[in-house]
Structure 1
């Protein structure tokens, strides 16, 4: 038997330098160093066998010789494109292995230089030079690994994009009859080639005044529980001040928050027998905006603007547009089996479209929400939003979260959870407990949003009866939003200075992109919306 020194890289084990706690009998010095060598067979057979265990990981054939050759300028079908992407990934895998192998071999050299039992006697100057050279080579090798990582990321993005194309193609084909299919003729290929490129999304520059078409929707503006018989709720909607209050019959009303007499804010006054009283001279208005009382003067026919307003599903709705109110509106009730645990209202200093962009994006969670709900989340190699070709709802992969945008400004999500801060399963259907969220982003002004947040659970009903639980939910919601706000405010500042906040959408931006497409179609008053799968309930004004 002989003593053989195996390198750290070869055996995935370090050369142990341990400090002894006993006196050295030879030198009588406490705390001397001892080198533990690895005992192997004559000729280093153990070392060679150990090396073979990891060198086989790098014996992968260069795939470049097998890549199918296509003529330059030829349009590839989906299957051919997927094949090319597959070879891209194989090449990235091969190149990454070569880069790692280079680093491991360089580490071997470092160990060989530093190992006192495996090197010849060398001067300190020679050692320094060798180590400096090796350090430079290691730096270059590590840079090459980063390049390989970027290549892998690019290849994965290609696959995600192709997967989206395949999904959309399958859905399109499922709605197309065989008689609608045309043969592949040169003319049809020319038609495909001449198809105009996809229009980019441009959201840049100062926020423009809201388009009138965007106002022609029912907007939820307050929770019913927050509007008592003797209270007023002032709101801004599309840069106009309004105030909510209940009339004599208990039904809610919404009138302009400006007295017709001297333009005093009405919400500074009080409620008197179902009428809102101005604090300046006591003029009183009913829920339809008519002035019914003018103290100290003769009553004249005066009326302030009032909006169509009603109450349903625990929320107060208004119609701020000039068109006649629609007969349908989105349903906001949580799914069956859920109980509402919190209803929170916040005023946020951001444009409502930017806030919707943020809420419709989950890929940012492990980077942004590291102190709240996403603490400890790993960063997936690929995040996808799975949705039909023309849908405004779908599910996130790899997270067990379903999400939906409902016009004009609502985001609903259902999250599968196992315990606070932990996700489980690959889909919400596989999870035993769930959290349901509703976010309403009311456009108050061009740089301000009124956010209504409702949280529901399908477990732990006792939490509804815990004192001060509402305050805890609000505290947590504010923590999460503050993590987002610092970023969205930065976006808003740069957008106002001309930067495009949708400059380079990628595959996981699908739902946010579709919101922007929906909004563009509304502002352009398209005859048919690109998205028509909207759930509706009956408008009680027509009952």
Structure 2
């Protein structure tokens, strides 16, 4: 009988052991056949002694029975560190089991190549067995790499705990009823709620009616339209900072932006037409050039009249305006997709929400597995920890565990690159490790206090043939509207409560980092600070 020494850990591995040729021959000779199980460690001698040097590596207790009982609970710092340490302990154990699998498979390869065994096998049979084992080894090696990535991620999370303790973006201590002195125990629920909202020096307060727009927020270049939407004889009416404007092309083909109000009787100019590079009012035919000067007044003497115009430029497929009073910045930011990407869709939508709320939503990815359950996040698992990793002073970074890079580009632009590789599941991948990608541009133009003009551009670095299919533009729009509608019902609810006094940034947590930084930047702009945060 062939000796078989085994341990519970060895038998628990999902490996199928086939009967060997030698045991088959033993049965032919009247010897009872059996399965040969090669042990990696054990207490007996013989085969185990040959593998004894591996025992310290694999003789590790399965930690799953000692998992901290914190599932579904809010954790303090010490509990969170305990969970992170357990995560590392479990992943270390898992990686050891993966390596053990490889060792057992290597032993099986040696067994197949054993000269005694080969005497009773054809070359074809040996090749077939080796090919099967090679495939199993390839899968096992891949699993080891995944386990290594998981261990690395868990170590990063543990190191991140220290950052969270002192992270200046986390809210301060929230006062509860037990913390309050006895003299205030009769405070009403409303007063208590207000104290919770306002305590913590590092929390944000975004509540109440939207205040008037700061003039400092207007001193930026704003993308307002796509080049493809502005033909030589068409107009694009927009609203920006509660003022109506209209964009059209002049005689030289360059775009211009003028107030969408005729100087004569305040008729909307966009209801008229564009003739030879001039926009004509539909009421009495007055015509204006791109600098706002009235060039024609039919049926009366031409007067020197000029309506307000804004600096307007065209770059990289987009039309930009400068609505502020300060001289325009000499350089426009580049919004081109990365090299290798092809633009597949450009969409424009007017949404009934304040632009800051929409930016808050776009800069938050942690909500995806709860909100977008019918679209792109369908089937996503809920990670144990979501965080946005970014430089100390910056408005860009990447999401962990999602393979998504993201950047807020002032004053109202969000850029993101998504690796197409099941981003809702932890697989140890970053955008650089993914073979295919989706690049998105979101521009949230502040139309008014409760309205945003959203410009969306989608680019892919694969499947260029899709761009030539006539129905794809409609398909992309349908999908974008589905995703947007999942967000809108929530953001509209936020807006309603904000207007009634609720603080929509009452309790920011770790994964709110990019959204909080946007709000801190916005507050500094509104104050007119000389040096803006996160600009270094």
Match of 2:511 in 1: 508
Do 1:269 and 1:278's aligned partners in 2 also have CA atoms closer than 8 Å?
yes
Match of 1:442 in 2: 445
- The structure 2 residue matched to 1:519, chosen from 519, 522, 532, is 522
Do 1:216 and 1:321's aligned partners in 2 also have CA atoms closer than 8 Å?
yes
Match of 1:467 in 2: 470
**CA–CA distance in 2 between the matches of 1:84 and 1:254?**
57
Alpha-carbon deviation of 1:163? 3.4
**CA–CA distance in 2 between the matches of 1:61 and 1:397?**
23
Alpha-carbon deviation of 1:166? 7.7
Change (3 A) 1:457 1:331: same
- The structure 2 residue matched to 1:207, chosen from 201, 206, 210, is 210
Do 2:402 and 2:425's aligned partners in 1 also have CA atoms closer than 8 Å?
no
Do 1:412 and 1:439's aligned partners in 2 also have CA atoms closer than 8 Å?
yes
Match of 1:455 in 2: 458
2:435 is the counterpart of 1:432? yes
Alpha-carbon deviation of 1:421? 9.4
**CA–CA distance in 2 between the matches of 1:157 and 1:419?**
21
**Partner secondary structure for residue 355 of structure 1:** helix
**CA–CA distance in 1 between the matches of 2:373 and 2:472?**
23
Alpha-carbon deviation of 1:278? 0.1
- The structure 1 residue matched to 2:301, chosen from 291, 298, 303, is 298
Do 2:401 and 2:426's aligned partners in 1 also have CA atoms closer than 8 Å?
no
For 1:272-287, list aligned pairs within 5 A. 272-287=275-290
Match of 2:100 in 1: none
**Partner secondary structure for residue 475 of structure 2:** helix
Say how many residue pairs are matched. Answer: 374
For 1:55-454, list aligned pairs within 5 A. 86-87=81-82, 162-164=162-164, 198-418=201-421, 426-454=429-457
Change (3 A) 1:85 1:400: closer
Do 2:279 and 2:288's aligned partners in 1 also have CA atoms closer than 8 Å?
yes
Change (3 A) 1:337 1:449: same
Do 1:352 and 1:442's aligned partners in 2 also have CA atoms closer than 8 Å?
yes
Alpha-carbon deviation of 1:86? 3.5
Alpha-carbon deviation of 1:165? 5.7
**CA–CA distance in 2 between the matches of 1:268 and 1:457?**
37
RMSD value, Cα: 3.1
**Partner secondary structure for residue 510 of structure 1:** helix
**CA–CA distance in 2 between the matches of 1:324 and 1:57?**
64
**Partner secondary structure for residue 420 of structure 2:** strand
Do 2:67 and 2:86's aligned partners in 1 also have CA atoms closer than 8 Å?
no
Do 2:77 and 2:165's aligned partners in 1 also have CA atoms closer than 8 Å?
no
Do 1:161 and 1:507's aligned partners in 2 also have CA atoms closer than 8 Å?
no
Change (3 A) 1:323 1:60: closer
Change (3 A) 1:477 1:204: same
**CA–CA distance in 2 between the matches of 1:271 and 1:58?**
72
Do 2:250 and 2:289's aligned partners in 1 also have CA atoms closer than 8 Å?
yes
**CA–CA distance in 1 between the matches of 2:67 and 2:427?**
38
**Partner secondary structure for residue 444 of structure 2:** strand
**Mind listing any 5+ residue stretches in structure 1 that lack a counterpart?**
1-54, 64-80, 94-155, 169-195, 534-543
Change (3 A) 1:425 1:498: same
Change (3 A) 1:62 1:472: closer
How far does the alpha carbon of each residue in 1:249-274 deviate from its partner, in whole angstroms, 9 at most, with x for none?
10000000000000000000001111
Alpha-carbon deviation of 1:525? 1.3
**CA–CA distance in 1 between the matches of 2:527 and 2:352?**
27
Give TM-score scaled by structure 1 length.
Answer: 0.64
Change (3 A) 1:373 1:391: same
Change (3 A) 1:292 1:386: same
Change (3 A) 1:337 1:89: closer
Change (3 A) 1:337 1:498: same
Change (3 A) 1:300 1:61: closer
Alpha-carbon deviation of 1:209? 1.1
Do 2:383 and 2:425's aligned partners in 1 also have CA atoms closer than 8 Å?
no
Do 2:85 and 2:158's aligned partners in 1 also have CA atoms closer than 8 Å?
no
Change (3 A) 1:421 1:397: closer
**CA–CA distance in 2 between the matches of 1:88 and 1:372?**
31
Alpha-carbon deviation of 1:303? 0.3
**CA–CA distance in 1 between the matches of 2:280 and 2:342?**
37
Match of 1:493 in 2: 496
Alpha-carbon deviation of 1:415? 0.2
